[in-house]
């Protein structure tokens, strides 16, 4: 899919993109920014200052739905710099609700879906020209938005989608209904994109898919994720990461690839969702807690020191205290470096939405808080092991709190802060690798002293 346009059609217009949800949306937002930049628009910090506001939405949980409605409605009476503001809603809510969004939100001008971000500039231009509203949502697309320009948040980091959609139908999850069946991107296309990114000076790539481990099954009859890692290993890009993995599809070949390929980073996000077999079955996850733990053992045996992270849902309908305790025990045993914890959110159209549950919200909230404490304790413990080590970090910028302190990430993706030395400016270091001796290890970050670059 090529992007061919006269380059100045949005000259002088300002835009702002608000991104919710997963990394796929972040990737899509970078593509939208790339296209708008090419048309001459420039980015501003807030929707209020923007002539064009694009929402890349998520519908995995209800909270994001509610936030979107609030944010769009709040723009209604705020004038745009050039008079009329274009509000465009894309991503998963756009894909799911289409037309309904323009009915419910009177200031939504454009609704687009997850399959047609390349059409957004045309929809914007025609809305500006004719003052019309437009809804365009496609059932599916035959292309990946790979040839679209991209305005990357960090020039040295790129998201590379390798598959879209999901075939797993976990009983709580709306993704398969919204994003459609799993569709892998051809192997050669991914490899050539990695090569191109390497020549552009990208140092870190995150390979993306709802379930990267089953990559290739639809195209080649068998998963080929390990081969993707091998090829990525030879691409010249220093750091390769990937998300998300489904435990039922994480193969020994992939674990071995992680163990042997030096630039595949020692980090694995492996969503467990629950530690109770009863709940795992009701969730349609297709593994038991024991199988999950065995998988973790083989990852640690083969890869060695690695940061493990996960997703967990608390309050799945019918979850008892006993089920919840099984989740806590599993988390203690794995000792995660990080976990994304969610309170179950009922999504209409999914099988779990039909399960009646009368567990009071306070009980679920209290379990959630206990889970967060367990995760914080293991995150803290995991970070202690880095004290007095020297970590190679990829510098991202300065700390939010203090511009004299740089921040970057270790191979395990831990955040590191270190004071800038007298002979370095952040502009010299950003996007480069520096060595930092770790002096302090907190729950969510490390801090130390630069020892070389």
User: How many other C-beta atoms are found inside a 10 Å radius of the C-beta of residue 199?
Assistant: 8
Q: Binder to ligand SF4 among 40, 98, 176, 318 (CB under 6 A)?
A: 176
Which of the ranges 171-179, 260-268, 297-305, 426-434 carries the binding residues for ligand SF4, by CB under 6 A?
A: 171-179
Which residue ranges make up the site for ligand 5AD (CB under 6 A)?
A: 60-61, 172-173, 271, 273, 311, 313, 342, 344-345, 347
Look up residue 129 and give its two tokens. Answer: 């020209």
Which residue's CB atom is positioned nearest to ligand 5AD? 311
Using the rule CB under 6 A, is 173 a contact of ligand SF4? yes
Q: Binder to ligand SF4 among 175, 205, 250, 295 (CB under 6 A)?
A: 175
Q: Could you tell which of ligand SF4, ligand 5AD, none binds residue 347, using a CB distance below 5 to 8 A set by kind?
A: ligand 5AD
Which CB atom, from 156 or from 344, has the smaller least distance to ligand 5AD? 344
- Strand pairing report for 86-90 and 52-57: parallel
Going from the C-alpha of 389 to that of each of 128, 262, 381, 439, the distances in angstroms are: 56, 19, 15, 8
Going from the C-alpha of 194 to that of each of 28, 188, 207, 242, the distances in angstroms are: 17, 10, 10, 13
Q: Could you tell which of ligand 5AD, ligand SF4, none binds residue 344, using a CB distance below 5 to 8 A set by kind?
A: ligand 5AD
DSSP code at position 421: P
Using the rule CB under 6 A, is 397 a contact of ligand SF4? no
Using the rule CB under 6 A, is 166 a contact of ligand SF4? yes
In angstroms, the CA 37 to CA 30 distance is 10
Q: Could you tell which of ligand SF4, ligand 5AD, none binds residue 166, using a CB distance below 5 to 8 A set by kind?
A: ligand SF4
In angstroms, the CA 392 to CA 413 distance is 11
Whether the Cβ atoms of residue 148 and residue 28 lie closer than 8 Å to each other? no
Q: Which string of b and e fits 62-94 if b means at least 16 CB within 10 Å?
A: eebbeebeebbeebeeeebeeeebbbbbbbbbb
Which CB atom, from 94 or from 431, has the smaller least distance to ligand SF4? 94
Going from the C-alpha of 215 to that of each of 93, 218, 225, the distances in angstroms are: 25, 8, 5
Which CB atom, from 3 or from 177, has the smaller least distance to ligand 5AD? 177
Whether the Cβ atoms of residue 328 and residue 275 lie closer than 8 Å to each other? yes
To ligand SF4, the closest distance from the beta carbon of 210 in angstroms equals: 4
Q: Binder to ligand SF4 among 95, 114, 211, 337 (CB under 6 A)?
A: 211
**Helix orientation angle between 187-199 and 225-233, rounded to the nearest 10 degrees:** 20
Which CB atom, from 80 or from 272, has the smaller least distance to ligand 5AD? 272
Which CB atom, from 166 or from 371, has the smaller least distance to ligand SF4? 166
To ligand SF4, the closest distance from the beta carbon of 60 in angstroms equals: 8
To ligand SF4, the closest distance from the beta carbon of 400 in angstroms equals: 30
User: How many other C-beta atoms are found inside a 10 Å radius of the C-beta of residue 367?
Assistant: 21
User: Applying CB under 6 A, which residues contact ligand SF4?
Assistant: 166, 168-170, 173, 175-176, 210-211, 246
């Amino acid at each position: 899919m090529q992007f061919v346009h006269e380059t100045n059609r949005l000259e002088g217009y300002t835009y702002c993109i608000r991104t919710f949800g997963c990394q796929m949306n972040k990737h899509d937002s970078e593509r939208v920014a790339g296209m708008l930049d090419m048309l001459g628009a420039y980015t501003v910090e807030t929707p209020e200052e923007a002539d064009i506001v694009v929402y890349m939405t998520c519908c995995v949980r209800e909270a994001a739905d509610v936030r979107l409605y609030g944010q769009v409605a709040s723009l209604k009476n705020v004038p745009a710099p050039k008079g009329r503001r274009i509000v465009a809603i894309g991503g998963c809510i756009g894909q799911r609700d289409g037309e309904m969004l323009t009915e419910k939100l009177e200031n939504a001008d454009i609704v687009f879906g997850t399959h047609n971000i390349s059409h957004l500039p045309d929809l914007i231009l025609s809305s500006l020209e004719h003052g019309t509203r437009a809804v365009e949502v496609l059932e599916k697309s035959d292309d990946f938005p790979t040839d679209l320009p991209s305005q990357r948040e960090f020039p040295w980091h790129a998201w590379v989608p390798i598959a879209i959609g999901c075939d797993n139908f976990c009983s709580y999850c709306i993704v398969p209904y919204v994003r459609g069946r799993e569709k892998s991107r051809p192997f050669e296309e991914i490899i050539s994109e990695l090569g191109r990114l390497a020549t552009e000076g990208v140092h870190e790539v995150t390979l993306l898919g709802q379930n990267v481990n089953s990559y290739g099954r639809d195209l080649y009859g068998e998963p080929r994720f390990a081969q993707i890692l091998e090829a990525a290993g030879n691409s010249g890009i220093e750091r390769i990461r990937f998300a998300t993995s489904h435990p039922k599809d994480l193969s020994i070949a992939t674990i071995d690839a992680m163990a042997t390929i030096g630039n595949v980073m020692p980090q694995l996000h492996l969503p467990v969702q629950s530690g109770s077999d009863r709940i795992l079955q009701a969730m349609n996850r297709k593994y038991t807690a024991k199988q999950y733990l065995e998988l973790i053992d083989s990852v640690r045996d083969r890869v060695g020191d690695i940061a493990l992270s996960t997703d967990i849902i608390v309050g799945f309908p019918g979850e008892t205290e006993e089920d919840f305790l099984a989740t806590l025990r599993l988390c203690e045993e794995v000792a995660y470096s990080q976990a994304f914890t969610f309170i179950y959110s009922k999504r209409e159209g999914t099988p779990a939405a039909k399960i009646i549950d009368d567990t009071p919200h306070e009980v679920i909230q209290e379990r959630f808080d206990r889970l967060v404490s367990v995760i914080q304790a293991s995150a803290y413990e995991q970070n202690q092991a880095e004290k007095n080590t020297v970590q190679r970090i990829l510098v991202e910028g300065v700390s939010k709190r203090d511009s004299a302190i740089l921040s970057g990430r270790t191979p395990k993706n831990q955040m590191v802060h270190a004071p800038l030395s007298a002979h370095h400016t952040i502009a010299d270091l950003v996007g480069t690798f520096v060595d930092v001796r770790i002096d302090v290890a907190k729950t969510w970050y490390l801090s130390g002293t630069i020892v070389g670059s």
